[in-house]
Amino acid sequence: MVQWTDFERATIQSVFEKMDYDDVGPAALSRCLVVYPWTQRYFGNFGNLYNAAAIQGNPMVAAHGKTVLHGLDRAVKNMDDIKATYAELSVLHSEKLHVDPDNFRLLADCLTIVVAARMGAAFTADVQGAFQKFLAVVVSSLGRQYH
């Protein structure tokens, strides 16, 4: 089981409490689609993804970005058993969505960059460490049920 320090728990709660989901979700997903363009393979029915401007203006990308970010809420509320919390979502991503689990890591990196940009100097090295540890656990749990 993952051991969390008091600082890490408090940091994760605080970062997500202060987060503007409607801003960060779309920003993270659209950044992922621009920086790692092969991730667009999962969004064939999202319409115009031809360039960065199109991606950032695409309403389906924005909506899905919010959905994905809210998907992290359960992990934030259940930090002591993220693996069990995401078992079903892991199966979904594997069996139904057929998403290569390396993509979770790519999106997590983009989310880190977006949160860093929003928080500025408040995103200290220690906060970065806690945030990346949290996302690493999420990424691992989402890939756990693949076979």
Partner 1 sequence: MSLTAKDKKMVKAFWAKVAGKAEDIGCDALSRMLVVYPQTKTYFSHWKDLSPGSAPVRKHGGTIMGGIGLAVASIDDISAGLLALSELHAFQLRVDPANFKILSHNILVVLAVMFPNEFNPEAHVAMDKFLAAVGRALSEKYR
Where along the sequence are the contacts to partner 1 (CB under 8 A)?
30-31, 34-35, 52, 55-56, 109, 112-114, 116-121, 123, 125-126, 128-129, 132
Least distance in Å: CB of 114 to partner 1? 7
- Written as six digits, the tokens of 73 are 């809420």
Least distance in Å: CB of 23 to partner 1? 12
Q: Are 32 and 107 in contact (CB under 8 A)?
A: yes
By beta-carbon proximity to partner 1, the closer residue of 59 and 129 is 129
- How many residues does this entry show for the chain? 147
HSE-up of 27 (CA within 13 Å, CB side)?
15
* Residue 69 amino acid letter: L
Least distance in Å: CB of 118 to partner 1? 7
By beta-carbon proximity to partner 1, the closer residue of 37 and 47 is 37
Least distance in Å: CB of 33 to partner 1? 8
By beta-carbon proximity to partner 1, the closer residue of 75 and 108 is 108
By beta-carbon proximity to partner 1, the closer residue of 85 and 107 is 107
| Distance of alpha carbon 41 from the chain centroid | 18
Cα–Cα distances in Å, from 53 out to 2, 9, 30, 58? 40, 37, 10, 8
